[in-house]
Amino acid sequence: MPPSTDLNDALMARARQIIPGGVNSPVRAFRAVGGTPRFVRRAQGAYFWDANGQRYIDYIGSWGPMILGHGHPAVLEAVQRAAAEGFSFGAPTEREIELAEEIAALVPSIEMLRLVSSGTEAGMTAIRLARGATGRSKIVKFEGCYHGHADALLVKAGSGLATFGHPTSAGVPPEVVQHTLVLEYNNVAQLEEAFALHGQDIAGLIMEPIAGNMNFVRATVEFTRRCRELCTQHGALLIYDEVMTGCRVALGGAQSVYAKAIPGFAPDLTVLGKVIGGGMPLAAFGGKRAVMEQLAPLGPVYQAGTLSGNPVATACGLATLREIKRPGFFESLSAKTRRLTGGLSAAARQASVPFCADCEGGMFGFFLLPKLPQNYGQVMQSESSRFNTLFHGLLARGIYIAPALYEAGFVSSAHSDEDIAATIAAASEVFQALRL
């Protein structure tokens, strides 16, 4: 067989020699779907081009941050100007205050916040803060929710009801996760039992309000209400991990969506990332003033970062937020996303392929299942072989969706009506191969 002339293959072979698995974050390796990852050479608007010069309509958008598409002129200009003024100082800047004020204005439950460099760091610190502020040890999380790769959060559910979990990664000793209680998402009875058993020891409950790391699964209103009530009743902090949903499903994040159904609803702490950095390494956590004042240098909970509040990253985040808060931005983005999921659903129906989809703002998910799943166990009933056929069919037609069935998708303001129509047309063709 002659050697492959595919430049992605060549780059992958070279990357594998020096980077474990050839990638710097595992899902990029295409292990779930097979085939060779596309090495991105450049991106503009709704598209990126791979090493072969092949163009793709991008529905990953760096896993969420690129809500304005790639290379938005106002953001690019802000980044270029900031870079010329210095990359990093290790001393405070006015821009950090501006970004913090901007975020607090968008998310009213945040009275004070701190900027960090990754969602992992923000989630990890929010847990430390909840423990420090309450003097308690136990944390509740839900199966299928991802909160970054901090040791205490790499846990899967235990076998029994409301039992403590097992590490999902080698290198995490069981003692490190012994205080992490893993429950089923949207299971009110189990939640109540957990609080009845352990309520006085629970420092915080961390959740993705719309889970985007098991594709797209909404917390029901009833479940959300009970999470809030039980935390309040037992003196635990409700921590919303909105790294993915923040400034993505709505300007005020998923909490603003739930606040419409539950008057007065607000979490105690919120974790943000992705969109607030506009594609630069930037994340944040914030919430009640009294809790945030527990952080060093004011309080006893330690946290620090050499690159925290980085001047180029904050410029990128600020410019991004200023664009998305323009009147009508989210209405238009939401309508576009709904057109995509509606079009895909209609195409699947026409081909008699079991399919369902959901979306909020610029985030969507779909399943090759007859009805929307409510938890991780139901998500995992999707057949991965059918998803892989869909994934590769779309990829071959220049449509790039997440290379795994348990990931959400993202639409940006740069996606045109033609891009959406081309995506639906490509999917219609691929659905023919998925007829049962």
Q: How far apart are CA 295 and CA 249, in angstroms?
A: 29
Instruction: Determine, following the binding rule CB under 6 A, whether residue 123 of this chain makes contact with ligand PLP.
Output: yes
Closest CA to 59 of 433, 429, 432, 394: 394
- Least distance (Å) from ligand PLP to the CB of residue 310? 14
Structure tokens at 352: 């008699």
Q: Please name which of 154, 88, 139 lies closest in space to residue 117, comparing C-alpha atoms.
A: 88
- Which residue minimizes CB distance to ligand PLP? 119
With respect to ligand PLP, which residue has the nearer C-beta, 36 or 412? 412
Q: Of 125, 213, 255, 412, which one interacts with ligand PLP (CB under 6 A)?
A: 213
Instruction: Based on the shown chain and the rule CB under 6 A, indicate whether residue 146 belongs to the binding site for ligand PLP.
Output: yes
Which of 138, 141, 274, 288 does the annotation list as catalytic? Answer: 274
Sign of CA dihedral 12, 149, 251, 322: negative
Among candidate residues 56, 141, 240, 241, the one labeled active-site is 241
- Residue 308 as a binder of ligand PLP (CB under 6 A): the answer is no
Least separation in angstroms between CB 117 and ligand PLP = 8
Structure tokens at 403: 């290379």
Q: Which stretch binds ligand PLP (CB under 6 A): 144-152, 228-236, 297-305, 365-373?
A: 144-152
276 binds ligand PLP (CB under 6 A): no
Question: Residue 287 interacts with ligand PLP (CB under 6 A)?
Answer: no
If binding means CB under 6 A, how many residues of this protein chain bind ligand PLP?
A: 15
Is 274 a catalytic site residue?
Answer: yes
Which of 69/212 has CB closer to ligand PLP? 212
DSSP per-residue string spanning 344-409: HHHHHHHTT---EEEEETTEEEEESSSS--SSHHHHTTS-HHHHHHHHHHHHHTTEE--SSTT--E
Task: Decide if 325 is catalytic.
Answer: no
Q: Are 156 and 182 contacting, i.e. CB atoms less than 8 angstroms apart? A: yes
Beta-sheet strands, E only, within 273-362: 283-287, 356-360
Nearest to 71 by CA among 93, 98, 49, 97: 49
Q: Applying CB under 6 A, which part among 84-92, 145-153, 179-187, 369-377 lies near ligand PLP?
A: 145-153
Provide, rounded to whole angstroms, the least separation between the CB of residue 298 and ligand PLP. 25
Stretch binding ligand PLP (CB under 6 A), from 48-56, 96-104, 238-246, 414-422: 238-246
Active-site annotation holder among 146, 240, 376, 400: 146
Q: What angle do CA 311, 315, 320 make, to 5 degrees?
A: 150
Q: Which lies closer to ligand PLP via its Cβ, residue 305 or residue 354?
A: 305
In sequence order, what are the beta bridge partners of 283? 116
Q: For ligand PLP, which is the closer residue by CB, 273 or 287? A: 273
* Residue 28 CA neighbour count, 13 Å, CB half: 17
In this structure, how many other beta carbons lie within 10 angstroms of the beta carbon of residue 155?
25
Member of 283, 292, 312, 368 binding ligand PLP (CB under 6 A): 283
The two counts, helices (H) then strands (E), for the chain are 13, 18
Q: Which residues pair with 250 in a beta bridge?
A: 246
Shortest distance, position 120 Cβ to ligand PLP, whole Å:
3
Question: Which alpha helices (H) appear in 269-328, and where do they start and end?
Answer: 289-292, 311-324
CB of 148 to ligand PLP, least distance (A): 4
Distance CA 40, CA 43 (A): 8
144 lines the binding site for ligand PLP (CB under 6 A):
no
Q: Is 116 in the site for ligand PLP (CB under 6 A)?
A: no
Among 57, 100, 106, 244, binds ligand PLP (CB under 6 A): 244
Give yes or no: 241 in active site.
Answer: yes
Q: Select the residue interacting with ligand PLP from 148, 252, 343, 409 (CB under 6 A).
A: 148
Angstrom CA distances, 233 to 135, 194, 255, 269, 426, stand at 16, 13, 20, 16, 51
**Minimum CB distance to ligand PLP, residue 149 (Å):** 7
Task: Decide if residue 120 touches ligand PLP (CB under 6 A).
Answer: yes
Collapsing DSSP states into helix, strand and coil, what is residue 75? helix
How many CB atoms lie under 10 A from the CB of residue 170? 6
The verdict on 243 binding ligand PLP (CB under 6 A) reads: yes
Rounded to 10°, the helix 221-234/188-198 angle is 10
Q: Is residue 202 close enough to count as binding ligand PLP by CB under 6 A?
A: no
Q: Should residue 273 be labelled a site residue for ligand PLP when binding is judged by CB under 6 A? A: yes
Per the CB < 8 A criterion, the answer to whether 320 and 214 are in contact is: no
Q: Could you give the residue numbers annotated as active site?
A: 146, 241, 274
Given the rule CB under 6 A, which residues bind ligand PLP?
A: 118-120, 123, 146-148, 208, 212-213, 241, 243-244, 273, 283
